[in-house]
Amino acid sequence: MSSTAWAAPVAERWSPPYPWYAVRTRSNHEKLTSAVLAGKGYEHYCPTYRVRRRWSDRVVVTELPIFSGYVFCRFDVKQRLPILTTPGVVSVVGFGLEPAPIDDSEIAAIQTVLESGLTAEPCPFLKEGQRIRVKHGALEGLEGILLKKKSEWRMVISVTMLQRSLAVELDREWIASA
């Protein structure tokens, strides 16, 4: 074993890892960007989920990115030029010109869920109290307020004049931000 081969793991063990950053990619370039980042030696993560797509002559199972348009990558923020010059990269997500790191626990939670083998798929980022619109089903097109009662999501439709409301249980996939 050469001395350089032995030195690299020791250096990695003592140096703290860089934080995760969200890298915005061109549309449908997540996998390409991940491959190029891997080729450059960066630790990257592009979480995907399986979806069945029906074509005219067959059904195909494809893997799509959970966060379409984004790849996660660890790097030194002061040395981000190689990231920004990677084919498919648009920018590093942050506030103004300053990239914002993503908490390791959030990335670890995503990895844990996907490695568990449970069915996971993207869903809209909605907050309780937010105005929503129903996208599918018998209530398609209706608007209301998102409410969580116990572990169920409900849409509340209010009649302002009567100061009364009606709550209906909905599947999370049926709703979107209004």
Q: Tens digit of pLDDT for each residue in 26-77? A: 999 999 999 999 999 999 999 998 888 888 889 999 999 988 899 999 999 9
106: containing domain: 3-115
| Position 9 confidence tier, pLDDT thresholds 50, 70, 90 | very low
8 is a domain residue: yes
| Selection from 23-27, 99-103, 129-133 with the highest mean pLDDT | 23-27
H helix runs in 60-133, sequence order: 81-84, 104-115
20 is a domain residue: yes
Residue 30 and residue 46: Cα distance in Å, rounded?
7
If one counts the domains in the chain, the total is 2
Indicate if 33 and 85 belong to the same structural domain. Answer: yes
84 is a domain residue: yes
> What b/e sequence results for 144-175 when a residue is b if at least 16 CB atoms lie within 10 Å of its CB, and e otherwise?
bbbbeeeeebbbeeeeeeeeeeeeeebeeebb
What is the pTM (predicted TM-score) of this model?
A: 0.68
Q: Does residue 1 surpass a pLDDT of 50?
A: no
H or E element in which residue 91 lies: strand 89-92
- Phi and psi at residue 58, in whole multiples of 5°? -165, 170
Residue 108 and residue 48: Cα distance in Å, rounded?
14
Indicate if 154 and 82 belong to the same structural domain. Answer: no
Indicate if 90 and 52 belong to the same structural domain. Answer: yes
| Percent of the chain scoring above 90 in pLDDT | 37
Indicate if 90 and 137 belong to the same structural domain. Answer: no
Lowest mean pLDDT among 9-23, 100-114, 121-135: 9-23
Residue 157 has a pLDDT of 64
| Position 164 confidence tier, pLDDT thresholds 50, 70, 90 | low
H or E element in which residue 8 lies: helix 3-14
Lowest mean pLDDT among 2-6, 59-63, 111-115: 2-6
Residue 124 and residue 144: Cα distance in Å, rounded?
16
H or E element in which residue 33 lies: helix 30-39
121 is a domain residue: no
24 is a domain residue: yes
Average pLDDT over residues 93-100: 90
